[in-house]
Amino acid sequence: MFKRRYIILISSLLAVLLLAVGAYAYWTTTGAGTGSATNASANGTLVLHATFASTLTPGATLPVSFTADNASTSSLRVGTVTTVVSIDAPHVTSGCLAGDFTVGPAIENQTIAKATSGVALLVPGSIVFNDTALNQDGCKGATVTLTLSA
């Protein structure tokens, strides 16, 4: 009987010891691996707007206000706003030229928060109706359109 208890005790201790060694080996395992992802090549586009008074006359300079809309799910940054001037077709035929107007670049460097619209850009631009030696009556009533890019 004593021998049987001794064998049961030794067997039990041995079983506990084997379980402990197995658990230690299980929890202290090592491993290696890698992971990667590709960032988006673009995260959205801003829509830019320009407004200026309709009182341009030869020789006049007027301020141009810019706003931005960001429908993206992340913030976007506006760098330098550049402008291309165009004139409505009937007035081009009358002699009004896009070259009669000058709009310089506006260096904004401004972040536009995600899902916002009508955000005023901090640096205004200006439009100049150049006073040339030519008759500029063809520009009377012309629609001057500013096409913006940044």
Residue 5 lies in a domain: no
CATH of residue 116's domain is 2.60.40
Count of structural domains within the chain: 1
> pLDDT tens for residues 61-102?
999 999 999 999 999 999 999 999 999 999 999 999 999 999
CA–CA separation, 127 and 25 (whole Å): 76
Residue 132 has a pLDDT of 92
> pLDDT tens for residues 114-148?
999 999 999 999 999 999 989 999 999 999 999 99
Residue 51 lies in a domain: yes
Per-residue pLDDT for 28 more than 90?
Answer: no
Residue 10 lies in a domain: no
Residue 86 lies in a domain: yes
Residue 18 lies in a domain: no
Per-residue pLDDT for 10 more than 80?
Answer: no
Residue 64 lies in a domain: yes
Residue 20 lies in a domain: no
Residue 2 lies in a domain: no
Domain that holds residue 94: 46-149
